[in-house]
Amino acid sequence: MAGTKRRNRELAAATLATGGSIREAATAAGCSDRTINNWCQEPEFQLRVKELRRESVGRAISRLADAMCESANVLHALLGSDNETERRHAATKILELGLKAIDIEELVNRVEELERRFAMGRYEAST
């Protein structure tokens, strides 16, 4: 019995984590909407929904990262296009995205340095 309840809670949490409604979670878990609402009040259940949502987002980010590599290859290939408009558009996008990436990398480095200084207790504001 405990295993079934645990499995039902996991099904409900997974449904909610992926954007499902209380009704959909209840259907997936084979229980009532009221039961799902009660579970949603429990910190342990809330944490599990958040963990599952984070895992789902992590998988989506990985897929986006893979697609970014393919997209960069497409833009790079367009630089060799016979169509001047396509070449110009690709070149502009590559420059725009490259500059944004450099800016983001610089910000990340600066934040990491500040975190390191704070952790060591040696933060000194720049003037």
| Range 87-106 average pLDDT | 93
pLDDT for res 3: 82
With bands split at pLDDT 50, 70 and 90, how would you rate the model's confidence at 65?
confident
Q: How far apart are CA 109 and CA 58, in angstroms?
A: 22
The type of residue at 33 is D
Element spanning 6, H or E: helix 2-17
Q: Read off the pLDDT of residues 107-117 as tens digits, 9 standing for 90 and up.
A: 999 999 999 98
Long-range contacts of 38-44 (CB under 8 A, 24+ apart): 39/9, 39/12, 40/16
* Average of per-residue pLDDT values in the chain: 91
| Range 37-44 average pLDDT | 96
| Range 70-97 average pLDDT | 93
Q: Read off the pLDDT of residues 17-37 as tens digits, 9 standing for 90 and up.
A: 999 999 999 999 999 999 999
Percent of the chain with pLDDT over 90: 77
Helix segments in 18-124, DSSP class H: 22-29, 33-40, 43-78, 84-120
Under a CB-based contact definition with an 8 Å cutoff, are residues 87 and 76 in contact? no
Q: Is the pLDDT of residue 15 over 80?
A: yes
| Range 48-60 average pLDDT | 94
Write out the two tokens for 116.
């390191």
CA distances from 40 to 16, 25, 27, 49, 107 (A): 10, 11, 15, 9, 38
CB atoms within 10 A of CB 116: 11
Q: How far apart are CA 104 and CA 91, in angstroms?
A: 20
pLDDT for res 126: 55
